[in-house]
Structure 1
Amino acid sequence: MTPTTPFPRRTARTVDVGGVPVGGGHPVSLQSMTTTHTRDVAATLAQIRRLADAGCRIVRVAVPAPPDAAVLAEVVAGSPLPVVADIHFSSGLAVKALEAGVAKVRLNPGNMDDPDGLRRVLALAAERGVPIRFGVNSGSVRTVHGERAGHDLANLMVDVLLEWVAMARKEGFQDLVLSAKASDAPTTIFAYRRLAEATDLPLHLGITAAGPMDEARTRSGIVLGTLLAEGIGDTIRVSLTGDPVQEVLIGHEILAELGLVPRRGVRILSCPTCGRCQVDLVGLAAEVKRRTADILAPLTVAVMGCIVNGPGEAREADVGIAAAKGRGVLFRHGRPLCELAEEDLVDALVDEVRSLAEEAGG
């Protein structure tokens, strides 16, 4: 592997999620979950369309009660994305979700204790060719299996999952995806590493209860980045308390930084500033980011604040500026174009970015 080639991927079985292949060396798919009440079909579909526009490939919806299950067929019919039904506690709701035509069902082994009902779900899923994700999280598995607390948490999650896999295979069901999410990075990473060694099933990566934006970005970046760099993971979700569209944008950023998906949009490089900086670089970078947010072409833009590293960094970007007191130099593909007054730098840089984007068709 070289710095310009993708990280090698773990080989996993392939399952089909509503036309999106998962595992088997296929691209890692971004997943998110709606925050609407699923029974509010209009609001749910509006949010799904926003997620699709942001680059989401698979969407999960909560099905906590019969009124939500009752509208699933309408949600599935109107969704531009494959719909996954998120089921807890009730095998009956899982059956209704399958009858409604969902592309996948997520079941939580931490809160389902209905062997006969589970067998009915597996039989119907097999009949309809629908995969199932067994997804445990640290809170629910610890509640149900507390008597096994002699296990550390990561091993407990994995052991429960492997028991469910064995049970499903005994019933002849193979189209499985697994996930094991804790709320801290070390537990989650350890669990996924063990799952990756113990099974060839595709893995959905994520962290549970990740928190608001800043905390979620950090925790998810550590967990997803570590595992993906080790070749582990076939779908991902960045969980955060907030707009799920942000989950997709952050997830895409993680995948693109690792070279696992093509970059989409402008990537801003800016220095952290130091005592040599004599311009308002924070303000300059923020304005450039705001004014290029609508550009989809995969461009790297440097906004640098001094003459030490600035020219070199700006030369490595598609376009950039290296600013000094009251002035700065505009670069394009490593070539200095002109020297400008500080107040003209952002306008010139944004114009150059848009010119490059038009040339690239984005």
Structure 2
Amino acid sequence: MSRIVRVGNVFIGQGYPVSIQSMTNTKTVDVDATVRQIRELAAAGCEIVRVAVADFESARAIRKIKEVLDLNVPIVADVHYDHRLAIEAIKNGADKVRINPGNIGQDWKVKELVEVAREYSVPIRVGANSGSLRKDFEQKYDRITALAESALYEVRLLEKFGFYDIVVSVKSTDVLETIKANEYVASKVDYPLHIGLTEAGVGETAIIKSAIAIGHLLLKGIGNTIRVSIAGDPIKEVIVARKILASIGLRKFGQVIACPTCARCEIDVEQIARSIEPIVEKTDLTVAVMGCVVNGIGEGRHADVGVAGTKNGAVIFKSGTIVKTVPREKIVEELIKLIEHTRSVPQ
């Protein structure tokens, strides 16, 4: 059982859905660009957005961003080195701050931040990653324990000042280190955990590593909010996060399932699947694209909507029952019509 932390209009913790986070890569002081990207992230399914706060101008830009933003998306201020930036961000409307007490400096600085966070009812995320371990812990413990204990040290520091509105994060670039360190922390505290890999990489490498680590932890009941780290467009992070949560049954998001194809395949499965995926992802439907009728309808029976190739085109089915036979050139068009109709009907 984990505690519950409120971040704007989103609750993190026991009993609430695992929330999806990402981070803008625009300059925070560029309000227009940042607002535009936050809107894109929210449209893709991002529920909490983090922005970098490197200076006072960036901290003050949060107020402008929230004034312009026509969405109720919680904004998290990502702060390093200067506790005054975190304080300024809170005073300008940040819904949560992410700090690393290890690089903030003396304890009195953390205490000052805690006092303001408590006054404004703003939670603090603390933690450690594989590049920011406490040196004394590196010498005392193995790498995994050092990572976990570095995060727990920061938790205890906040607790020392009577602050308990905490989210904890421990991340490594290594899958097994991330898993083991989070398991360690989860066994020691009941604060909600923000999970993911740090610097996971690009493309398929980042996706695979993140899916293994995040999926494993979530299936063990560890983790309350996630960020998939992928170098480049943050929209990809949100899409992959949704797919991870849908794949393990923690959230109901639209997804396309497709057969791997074989010599019996009668239609271009990949092309059809790619054509409909952007539409399906905006629904809560599972849509099957199957290459032939030999196993197609049977294997796709659990899908809400599906298509199976035939020698002359395809059959389109709903919940395992054929509703229409269509020629090849009409497959995508007719499938989209059924998807649109099905998602508009209360389930």
Task: Tell me the TM-score normalized by structure 2.
Answer: 0.91
Matched, 1:353 2:327: no
Instruction: Rate the CA distance shift 1:190–1:340 in 2: closer, same or farther, 3 A.
Output: same
Deviation string 1:80-123 (CA, Å, 9 cap, x unpaired) is 31211101111221222222231111112443332221111112
1:69 to 40, 51, 59: 59
Distance in 1, Cα, partners of 2:87 & 2:337: 55
Instruction: Rate the CA distance shift 1:358–1:169 in 2: closer, same or farther, 3 A.
Output: closer
Distance in 2, Cα, partners of 1:357 & 1:130: 37
Which residue in 1 is equivalent to 2:111?
119
Q: Residue 281 of structure 1 contacts residue 305 of structure 1 at CA under 8 Å; is this kept in 2?
A: yes
Q: Residue 210 of structure 1 contacts residue 220 of structure 1 at CA under 8 Å; is this kept in 2?
A: yes
2:301 partner SS: helix
Instruction: Rate the CA distance shift 1:307–1:167 in 2: closer, same or farther, 3 A.
Output: same
Give the Å deviation of 1:73: 2.4
Sequence identity (%): 42
Which residue in 2 is equivalent to 1:299?
285
1:85-234 alignment, distance < 5 Å = 85-141=77-133, 145=135, 148-234=138-224
Q: Residue 6 of structure 2 contacts residue 12 of structure 2 at CA under 8 Å; is this kept in 1?
A: yes
Q: Residue 52 of structure 2 contacts residue 77 of structure 2 at CA under 8 Å; is this kept in 1?
A: yes
2:323 partner SS: strand
Higher relative contact order (CA 8 A, sep 6+): 1
2:76 partner SS: strand
1:16 partner SS: strand
Give the Å deviation of 1:204: 0.6
Distance in 2, Cα, partners of 1:84 & 1:117: 20
2:323 to 337, 343, 347: 337
1:71 partner SS: helix
Distance in 1, Cα, partners of 2:325 & 2:64: 58
Matched, 1:311 2:297: yes
Q: Residue 321 of structure 1 contacts residue 330 of structure 1 at CA under 8 Å; is this kept in 2?
A: yes
Instruction: Rate the CA distance shift 1:337–1:175 in 2: closer, same or farther, 3 A.
Output: closer
Instruction: Rate the CA distance shift 1:328–1:62 in 2: closer, same or farther, 3 A.
Output: same
- More off after superposition, 273-282 vs 214-223: 273-282
Structure 1 runs, 4 residues or longer, greater than 4 Å off:
none
Matched, 1:289 2:281: no
Which residue in 2 is equivalent to 1:270?
258
Equivalences, count: 345
Instruction: Rate the CA distance shift 1:192–1:147 in 2: closer, same or farther, 3 A.
Output: closer
Which residue in 2 is equivalent to 1:3?
none
Distance in 2, Cα, partners of 1:289 & 1:72: 34
1:282 partner SS: helix
Give the Å deviation of 1:338: 4.2
Distance in 1, Cα, partners of 2:6 & 2:338: 43
Q: Residue 301 of structure 2 contacts residue 319 of structure 2 at CA under 8 Å; is this kept in 1?
A: yes
1:21-32 alignment, distance < 5 Å = 21-32=11-22
Distance in 2, Cα, partners of 1:146 & 1:208: 22
Distance in 1, Cα, partners of 2:337 & 2:91: 53
- More off after superposition, 40-49 vs 184-193: 40-49
2:97 counterpart letter in structure 1: V
Q: Residue 279 of structure 1 contacts residue 326 of structure 1 at CA under 8 Å; is this kept in 2?
A: no
Q: Residue 20 of structure 2 contacts residue 45 of structure 2 at CA under 8 Å; is this kept in 1?
A: yes
Q: Residue 76 of structure 1 contacts residue 82 of structure 1 at CA under 8 Å; is this kept in 2?
A: no
Distance in 2, Cα, partners of 1:287 & 1:20: 33
Deviation string 1:45-85 (CA, Å, 9 cap, x unpaired) is 12112222222221111011232123232224344312111
Give the Å deviation of 1:261: 2.4
Structure 2: stretches of 5+ with no match in the other structure? none
Distance in 2, Cα, partners of 1:340 & 1:85: 52
Q: Residue 72 of structure 1 contacts residue 100 of structure 1 at CA under 8 Å; is this kept in 2?
A: yes
Give the Å deviation of 1:203: 0.6
Distance in 2, Cα, partners of 1:241 & 1:84: 20
The CA RMSD measured in Å over matched residues stands at 2.2
Give the Å deviation of 1:149: 3.9
Task: Tell me the TM-score normalized by structure 1.
Answer: 0.88
Distance in 1, Cα, partners of 2:155 & 2:114: 11
Instruction: Rate the CA distance shift 1:323–1:19 in 2: closer, same or farther, 3 A.
Output: closer
Deviation string 1:179-200 (CA, Å, 9 cap, x unpaired) is 0010121000111111111001
Instruction: Rate the CA distance shift 1:16–1:343 in 2: closer, same or farther, 3 A.
Output: closer
Distance in 2, Cα, partners of 1:243 & 1:31: 14
